[in-house]
Amino acid sequence: MHTAMVISPHADDATAFCGGTLAKLAHQGWNVILVRVTDDRKDSLGFSIEETIQKNAEELREAARILGIQEIVELGFETDMLADIPLGKLRERIVYLFRKYRPYAVFSFDPDGLYENNQDHVRVAQAVDEAFWVACFDKHYPEHFKEGLKPYSVCERWYFARQLPKVTHVEEITATIEQKIKALCAHHEMMRNTINQSRLQLQTWGKHMHWLDQSLDGDLQPLLGTFLQEQAKAVAVEAGWDPETRLGEAFRLERFGDLEPLFQMMSEPLPGAQEAPSRPELEQPYESPWDEEQLQQIIPADFDKRIRLMGHHHLCAGAFDALMAQPSFQLGYANLVKHLKPDPDLQVESIYGYDVFCYQCGFWSEQEGRCSTGWKNKLTKDAAVLAHLGLRPGQATRLEDLQRLLAGKVPYAKLEEFCGPGGDGKCEFYALGVCQKSYAALREKFGIRSK
């Protein structure tokens, strides 16, 4: 199961900013680890430093228990003094924890958060963001490797803030808001001190609020419960949800930055790896330039019985099944995957010119009405493929017969010549190895020995 690590400058930050999400992940079976950076030695009202350290540590344990957090790691820095600690020292501790616990996701303050005046929050945000970067290096903190640790890269950074520069992810916490409220109430002494801050400022203004006075020495639940509910509702409204039925926590979720689209398009599952949590908001589905009505006009009425293919697209017919199962093909050719039924009896008509695949392709330029990879080169290739297969435009072949023909006439070297890198080939699906495997399977199916 995946691990989530929250790096909380103070005991209450994790609960206050992402407690609902942490509890939800714990319910889903994630291993949730809380790192408290400081000792919160000054955050209470009317207790000594020693009593405060002890009370806040006990209350953190209780809050963590309520949220389902498995382990607390204490870094023990003095509270409200992180601005005086070299950033590199804090960063090294976080790199160490990344390498040791190998979290899939890390939660912390956003280094780009707005209106943050708490220097502990600022420093932790900076240290986490930089630790994410250098934890991957094999020359940063090599002393860690003597313990058997290895360079490591966290996949997801979930940043929270008083005000986020941009919200890229809202996690629904309707089912765990009560746990969040209970956990925040567990930070009894820190919450009393927070309430007292507001009381003192109100006094300076010449006012007081009965509710605050009452909560300070009484039950915190009505005040904190209302505050957290309203906050979660405001997040829901921003997300376009009905706040009466759905509550949320807001994050700036970062994964691969500018490389996100490339990695989504080209990456494939690593054998033996855990399944990655789906993040639909980060996925950028290919948007077809065609609406349903236009598609009706483009896709021939007899498409389920007869398809027309240009010369070099005949080669794709040898790998239809594998292509249609390939995530990036599904993304790029969603409409074709929906409509194409590659039955053995499907008639494949050879044509000379653009076909329905072209109109769906990311390289199709609608403005110029041509393939942006260069139609002139393709003309020669299309002719060469048809000639090689012994097919002529206007001729129709059963799909299974075409596949038998491909298995016999397109050995590995020929496939590479037509589709491989270099020259005018550059097919991304060949680069992914999809077609080579399919052709090998075809040869086996038809009992053709590879040359």
Minimum distance, C-beta of residue 120 to Zn ion, in the bound complex (Å): 6
Please say which residue, 9 or 420, places its beta carbon nearer to Zn ion.
9
Sign of the four-CA dihedral 385, 390, 395, 397: negative
Selection from 309, 266, 306 nearest residue 406 by Cα: 309
Selection from 200, 195, 244, 193 nearest residue 222 by Cα: 195
From 7-15, 219-227, 338-346, 399-407, span contacting Zn ion (CB under 5 A): 7-15
Q: Is 382 helix (H, G, I), strand (E, B) or coil?
A: helix
Other C-beta atoms lying within 10 Å of the C-beta of residue 450:
10
User: For residues 59 and 45, what is the distance between their CA atoms, to the nearest angstrom?
Assistant: 15
Please say which residue, 119 or 174, places its beta carbon nearer to Zn ion.
119
Largest CA distance in the chain: 94
Please say which residue, 34 or 323, places its beta carbon nearer to Zn ion.
34
Minimum distance, C-beta of residue 49 to Zn ion, in the bound complex (Å): 18
82's CB contacts (< 8 A; 6+ apart) are 9, 37, 38, 90, 119, 120, 123, 124
Minimum distance, C-beta of residue 129 to Zn ion, in the bound complex (Å): 17
User: For residues 283 and 280, what is the distance between their CA atoms, to the nearest angstrom?
Assistant: 5
Minimum distance, C-beta of residue 79 to Zn ion, in the bound complex (Å): 9
Strand order across the 347-350 sheet: 306-309, 347-350, 396-398
280's CB contacts (< 8 A; 6+ apart) are none
Please say which residue, 40 or 382, places its beta carbon nearer to Zn ion.
40
Element spanning 34, H or E? strand 31-38
Minimum distance, C-beta of residue 69 to Zn ion, in the bound complex (Å): 17
From 6-14, 77-85, 325-333, 392-400, span contacting Zn ion (CB under 5 A): 6-14
Please say which residue, 43 or 156, places its beta carbon nearer to Zn ion.
43
Please say which residue, 119 or 347, places its beta carbon nearer to Zn ion.
119
From 5-13, 253-261, 269-277, 395-403, span contacting Zn ion (CB under 5 A): 5-13
Residues of span 73-102 touching Zn ion by CB under 5 A: none
Burial class (CB in 10 A: 0-12, 13-18, 19+), 268: exposed
Please say which residue, 62 or 400, places its beta carbon nearer to Zn ion.
62
Selection from 388, 406, 384 nearest residue 397 by Cα: 406
Minimum distance, C-beta of residue 9 to Zn ion, in the bound complex (Å): 5
**Residues in binding contact with Zn ion, number by CB under 5 A:** 3
Q: What is the length of the chain?
A: 451
Query: Does the protein bind Zn ion through residue 41 (CB under 5 A)?
Result: no
Minimum distance, C-beta of residue 121 to Zn ion, in the bound complex (Å): 6
Please say which residue, 9 or 20, places its beta carbon nearer to Zn ion.
9
Q: For residue 221, give both structure tokens.
A: 């639940």
When CB distances to Zn ion are compared, the closest residue is 10
Minimum distance, C-beta of residue 323 to Zn ion, in the bound complex (Å): 51
Minimum distance, C-beta of residue 118 to Zn ion, in the bound complex (Å): 6
What track of x and - describes contact with Zn ion for positions 8 through 27 (by CB under 5 A)? -xx--x--------------
How far is CA 303 from each of CA 266, 299, 339, 405, rounded to the nearest angstrom? 29, 7, 8, 22
Selection from 78, 106, 112, 79 nearest residue 94 by Cα: 106
Please say which residue, 20 or 420, places its beta carbon nearer to Zn ion.
20
What track of x and - describes contact with Zn ion for positions 133 through 172 (by CB under 5 A)? ----------------------------------------
Where do contacts with Zn ion occur on this chain (CB under 5 A)? 9-10, 13
